[in-house]
Structure 1
Amino acid sequence: MSKRFNKVLVANRGEIALRVIRGARKLGYQTVAVYADADAQSLHVREADEAVHIGASPAKDSYLVIEKIIAAAKTSGAQAIHPGYGFLSEREAFAQAVQAAGLIFIGPDPASIEAMGNKSASKIRMIAAGVPCVPGYQGDDQRDDTLVAEARKAGLPVMVKAAAGGGGRGMRLVFDEAALLENIRSARSEAENAFGSGQLLIEKAVMDARHVEIQVFGDRHGNVVHFGERDCSVQRRNQKVVEEAPSPAVDDALRLKMGAAAVAAAKAVNYVGAGTVEFMLARDGQFYFLEMNTRLQVEHPVTELVYGVDLVEWQLRVAQGEKLPLGQAEILDNRYGHAIEVRLCAEDPQANYLPQTGPVLRWQAPVGEGLRVDTYLETGAVVSPYYDSMQAKLIAWGEDRETARQRLLKALADTRFFGLVSNKDYLRDILGHAAFAGGDFSTGFIGQYFSQEAINAARPSARQVVLAAVALYLDDARRLRSEHGIEAEMIGWHSSHETGVDFKLKCREQEFEFELSAQASRRFSAVIAGEKVELELHRQDADSYSYLCEGVQGKAYFSRQGDQLWLEAEGRNWCFNDRTLAPVEGAAPGSDGRLLAHSDGKLVAVHVKPGEQVEKGQTLAVLEAMKMEFQLSLPVAGVVESVNAEPGQQVRNKAVLLVVKPLA
């Protein structure tokens, strides 16, 4: 019989910490948050009954320090620890330390985590348990020559995968035999940095397959059940972007087969609590074990909405020693409707998904029938460089898949996220794509339909440029009225012809220089790149306005910070820089030989030293930001003049890392 508890410490941050805190509070538990310096004012800290500071902002100094988490539980009197996901959630040593401290770990036993924590070892177990597995190599001989030979034996293309960890790190898809050795070494290096282990396995790549996972749940009374499947095939760099339940590719018969295999996998390691067994589903209906995640998943809300359950509540009940609330037949009978989730991230798809950091000028979550938003965001929050780029999860449920899809599209349209570039428009484009709407796609979906070149080609329309200028004009007028007490009807008044206001706006690398004609602050017109735009203002608020253009009424939303204007209009988001009164810009960073950090982050490596000659495009340094590594280079060749930062150093956005004297 498990020891009873009434106070739960949540060993995590952000949206998952809030999710667990609110779920535990609903059941009457007291809650304790932990926080690093960067999260001192975060929403999860304020919503918990108590909060304990655990260290500096980098996760290695706070959220990843087992001793600090356990000390926080002891200090606060919490008897149980919920790990959330990420950080320490799948560390066998953490679960072991929690139990050794006399506390309850709300998750599987250490032995189960250890059994499934290494992909090679878990695959061997699954083969023994009769669970279908992808052909490949999962042995202990990790020499380069052995891995290359085993990859040839499996037959290209192959997946080179880190045996420890997940999240797409330490994973490479290799088509060309000549690239095998390079990718093996690269995957090993990334795995060592991310997980502390460079062990790899080789798997035959199942091409044009779907990524389908089964939610399982076990208790301490020998019961293990499944909640059907989630389809997570829309991925970028092996990281999930969109998840849904049920899968458009799974019928009732296949669901039962995959569910039975997942339950067998869980029973093979005496699994207790929430877990996920991940499979690759081939076009011919064959499925193959990938790995088991021994924790709650990011995408658990879609299962909750379709099956009408609270998985955090189930975790707490099982941790208290209770039996599972429902049996397998009851669970499957409860399945109703469809749910889709997207991950809203602070990243720039047009800059190779570069993570974004800084203050949130405006956050407004959507509301509506069938909608759920899991996030820690609020206006004024600060997105830190120390943690993951995912900031919110938007989930929509409907009686059928198309209803859920349409509701989620509307939810994204109604979401305001200003102050940082995000992937919001990108998510809307994915949901709106005909292949996604039709349900016939694979893990190659993004690579097939969303090339980097196509994403980069997006530019603001002439009308959107004018709408940005009107927003600046209206905001200036509002400030003028406020500061000088001018009556609203006097703004824009003139005794003769309409006034013209010069504007010079910049959006990314594109500049727009034009005159905006304003007639009594109600009618505006401008010519952008030969296209004339005329619109009439209807209603105006502090951060939005309605307008009529070509017989159609629209609405523009905006936030302003200094010379930056964040605009959402006509289904797209843009950030404009007002360069109207700005001095002439100097040479662009990079072209003048300065290598700048492209975001806040940690400098992982510097590959050159002063006096060394370098080529155009050569990797000069590696920067880690929001758990991702970026190879930094310059568009010029030359000789290194100075190196201004060292590996391991935390650097700010736009910090000069090194200087190269360009060749004449």
Structure 2
Amino acid sequence: MFDTLLIANRGEIACRVAATARRMGLRTVAVYSDADAHARHVAACDVAVHIGGPEPASSYLRADAILEAARRTGAQAIHPGYGFLSENAAFARACAEAGIVFVGPPADAIAAMGSKSAAKTLMESAGVPLVPGYHGQEQDPEFLRRQADAIGYPVLIKASAGGGGKGMRIVESDEAFAEALASCRREAASSFGSDQVLIERYLQRPRHIEIQVFADGLGNCIHLFERDCSVQRRHQKVIEEAPAPGMTPERRQAMGEAAVAAARAVGYVGAGTVEFIAEPGGRFYFMEMNTRLQVEHPVTEAITGHDLVEWQLRVAAGQALPVSQAQLSIHGHAIEARIYAENPDKGFLPSIGRLDALEFPPHVVFQRGPVRVDGGVQAGDTITPYYDPMIAKLIVHGQDREQARQRMLRALAAIRGTGVQTNIAFLGRLMDDPAFAAADLDTGLIEREHDRLFPPAEALPDTVPALAAAAVLHAGGLAAPEARRLTGDPWADADGWRVGGVYTRELPFSDGTRDYRAGLRREDGQWRLTVDDGPSQALSWSARGTHPAHVRARLADLDVQGAVFIQGRRLDLFVDGRRHTLEWRDPIALATGESDEGPGGLSAPMPGKILAVAVAAGAIVARGDPLIVMEAMKMEHTIHAPHDGKVLEVYFAPGDQVRDGDALLALGPVGDE
């Protein structure tokens, strides 16, 4: 066994690998970019080496810098994590040439599976079933369109070198093919350095089921059962669970044997995942093989009781797999939810900014337990545009699926994160969705259940503005009347006492869709609250702490309690497992009509690069027309016209970098000159 391990990655996987390596008595080395100087994974390792700028291309994708860091620190092995260089055959080969152990499969196995087209050809020869489609080298757009016509719509265009849902487009008709192909190629070239694609029949209501395989260098190869990863958005996994609901022993055996056959066909060593698409009737087809550890590996660890990272390190050191296929069994059910800094209500757009607060329910870290959190960021960290916006993975384990689902619901409700938008509330709705609860799963579940998962905004109950008002008063040093100190000196009692006997105050709040006016009045030692034009109601409260403030309020005969974080004029209230974000509106700014945005402007939702501009000054556009295509966080985002109008000016050209909030173009009424 080697004694020093360099971890060529960041975030939660780097923290996970560091924790396992430390438990095994290994010395660990972190690498970091300018953006990660104070990151959690840096503190988790014994030594840290700076390798470049914040962009992955100038740091985590620099094989030369990582190998130099290994040489300088005496690392005998490199764990690539997932993403970045984890499936880079040239990097694995360079490690071998430098005499450094690459904790992963041989370079030839990575190369064989690195191209989806080549992998499918190889799998076909190995007898692994494939989805009907075109996987060849010819890439002429007209030729590809004819292939799609022959396959029959809908079809799926996929980046041949891709993964993680990037470089994928569903095409419903011949007319939409050219635009989808161009967009897919742009995203593929940006993310993977190759714009080659393949075309496949798009299966209706399929499930995404993958098999965890593991092989050692002594000829042993096994599978550790399956994971269901069907619940996806934008072709990226949201929820993973193991075992797959409804899986029969016969189907599990058939899929496991196919996965092992795929691994043996390329001389695989280490942890890998063979991904299948499965039709409702039970037929399954090979999609791809990920030649690395997967983000969702904790659910497999939970149901088998084995540490897959430890297995990786032992196999990389030349040791045999610790168990045989016959010694493996499934215990209970596990579910993983990916917690992202993103806004589900805006197409899951990533949310960039400082993570002001982050609190999880009681849990274990990187271990097996009823509730587990694998995280790579902490309160005070910044979610940047350079890397995947994942905050953490929440994993729960139960005796059966329903117990695991209920545990996930409770754990999600107990998370408190502020400063950026998150998908936590969405995940809670997803866990509670009748289709998910009944295990009626397929890759289109989120779209199919859209109305349930994205309900229209509802007016807040009066108790929420009441709690917000109490928190503001508490933060301002005002005590509740029942908490007054009764010093005998009214000037010393900070409870809103006034010589005239009456203290009034108005607190305007907004939740982004509706304004709320909380009118406060203190008279005769009693606070009263009026929300908008509603009745005046008695208000009493108690509070402790500051960040968060734990506030309990009673409005008339209704009780409410929650944790309130106040950051500037933003209030994040966590009440009954839900997060409510209110802006404490500045009355002066409202009175003068000041606004953060100029009229008619369209702003960049995050930092990124302009890929295409579909309009020019003077163009007449209709609501919903595509205006600008920008790339952010390796994904394309199309800016559409919010209403009919005339383009007055375009401020950027393809190739330009834009900052969060930059005005992209000016859109005025059709009659503007």
> Given the two structures, how large is their TM-score scaled by the length of structure 1?
0.92
Which secondary structure does the structure 2 equivalent of 1:156 belong to? coil
For 1:638, the equivalent position in structure 2 comes to 646
**1:590-605, aligned counterparts within 5 Å?**
592-605=599-612
Which of residues 501, 504, 507 in structure 1 aligns to 2:508?
A: 504
Deviation at 1:648, TM superposition (A): 4.4
Q: What code does the residue aligned with 1:295 have?
A: R
Deviations 1:373-394 (A, max 9, x none): 0112222111112111111100
Separation in 2, partners of 1:354, 1:437? 26
Determine if the alignment matches structure 1 residue 337 to structure 2 residue 325.
Answer: no
Which of residues 316, 321, 326 in structure 1 aligns to 2:323?
A: 326
Residue pair 1:614, 1:639 contacting (<8 A) in 2 also = yes
Separation in 2, partners of 1:273, 1:399? 29
Q: What code does the residue aligned with 1:223 have?
A: N
Separation in 1, partners of 2:255, 2:247? 9
Bigger CA drift: 88-97 or 466-475? Answer: 466-475
Determine if the alignment matches structure 1 residue 416 to structure 2 residue 420.
Answer: no
Distance change (3 Å), C-alpha of 1:535 and 1:192: same
Deviation at 1:535, TM superposition (A): 5.2
Separation in 1, partners of 2:166, 2:523? 56
For 2:531, the equivalent position in structure 1 comes to 527
Q: What code does the residue aligned with 1:44 have?
A: H
Separation in 1, partners of 2:129, 2:521? 68
Distance change (3 Å), C-alpha of 1:104 and 1:468: same
Residue pair 2:477, 2:494 contacting (<8 A) in 1 also = no
For 2:307, the equivalent position in structure 1 comes to 310
Deviation at 1:539, TM superposition (A): 4.8
Deviations 1:98-134 (A, max 9, x none): 2222211101111111111111111111111111111
Determine if the alignment matches structure 1 residue 366 to structure 2 residue 361.
Answer: yes
Residue pair 2:463, 2:558 contacting (<8 A) in 1 also = no
Deviation at 1:557, TM superposition (A): 1.3
Q: What code does the residue aligned with 1:21 have?
A: A
Separation in 1, partners of 2:259, 2:525? 64
Distance change (3 Å), C-alpha of 1:494 and 1:325: same
Distance change (3 Å), C-alpha of 1:36 and 1:531: farther
For 2:343, the equivalent position in structure 1 comes to 348
Deviations 1:282-302 (A, max 9, x none): 111111111111110000001
Q: Give ranges in structure 2 of 5+ residues lacking alignment.
A: 364-368, 484-488
Deviation at 1:522, TM superposition (A): 8.0
Separation in 2, partners of 1:328, 1:193? 40
Bigger CA drift: 566-575 or 130-139? Answer: 566-575
Deviations 1:330-359 (A, max 9, x none): 113xx2011101011001112222211111
Distance change (3 Å), C-alpha of 1:455 and 1:348: farther
Output the aligned Cα RMSD.
2.7
Q: Give ranges in structure 1 of 5+ residues lacking alignment.
A: none
Determine if the alignment matches structure 1 residue 71 to structure 2 residue 78.
Answer: no
Distance change (3 Å), C-alpha of 1:442 and 1:641: closer
Deviations 1:410-468 (A, max 9, x none): 11111111111111100000011111111122111100112599345355444323322
Deviation at 1:41, TM superposition (A): 0.7
For 2:486, the equivalent position in structure 1 comes to none
Bigger CA drift: 294-303 or 96-105? Answer: 96-105
Bigger CA drift: 618-627 or 493-502? Answer: 493-502
Separation in 1, partners of 2:205, 2:311? 35
Determine if the alignment matches structure 1 residue 236 to structure 2 residue 233.
Answer: yes
Distance change (3 Å), C-alpha of 1:429 and 1:661: closer
Separation in 1, partners of 2:98, 2:611? 35
Distance change (3 Å), C-alpha of 1:464 and 1:118: same
For 1:653, the equivalent position in structure 2 comes to 660
For 1:377, the equivalent position in structure 2 comes to 377
Deviation at 1:555, TM superposition (A): 2.4
Residue pair 1:492, 1:519 contacting (<8 A) in 2 also = no
For 1:189, the equivalent position in structure 2 comes to 186
For 1:7, the equivalent position in structure 2 comes to 4
For 2:171, the equivalent position in structure 1 comes to 174
**1:429-440, aligned counterparts within 5 Å?**
429-440=429-440
Separation in 2, partners of 1:285, 1:642? 52
For 1:129, the equivalent position in structure 2 comes to 126
Which secondary structure does the structure 2 equivalent of 1:233 belong to? coil
Q: Aligned residues: percent identity? A: 44
Residue pair 1:386, 1:601 contacting (<8 A) in 2 also = no
Residue pair 2:8, 2:81 contacting (<8 A) in 1 also = yes
Residue pair 1:54, 1:62 contacting (<8 A) in 2 also = yes
**1:470-619, aligned counterparts within 5 Å?**
470-477=470-477, 490-494=494-498, 499-517=503-521, 525-528=529-532, 530=534, 536-542=540-546, 543=548, 544-548=550-554, 553-584=559-590, 586=593, 592-607=599-614, 611-613=617-619, 615-616=621-622, 617-619=624-626
For 1:114, the equivalent position in structure 2 comes to 111
Q: What code does the residue aligned with 1:301 have?
A: P
Q: What code does the residue aligned with 2:155 have?
A: V
Q: Number of matched residues?
A: 654
Deviations 1:42-71 (A, max 9, x none): 111111100011111111111111111111
Deviation at 1:627, TM superposition (A): 2.7
Which of residues 96, 101, 108 in structure 1 aligns to 2:98?
A: 101
For 1:162, the equivalent position in structure 2 comes to 159
Deviation at 1:228, TM superposition (A): 0.4
Residue pair 2:474, 2:543 contacting (<8 A) in 1 also = no
Determine if the alignment matches structure 1 residue 257 to structure 2 residue 254.
Answer: yes
Separation in 2, partners of 1:78, 1:625? 34
Separation in 1, partners of 2:148, 2:129? 20
Residue pair 1:522, 1:537 contacting (<8 A) in 2 also = no
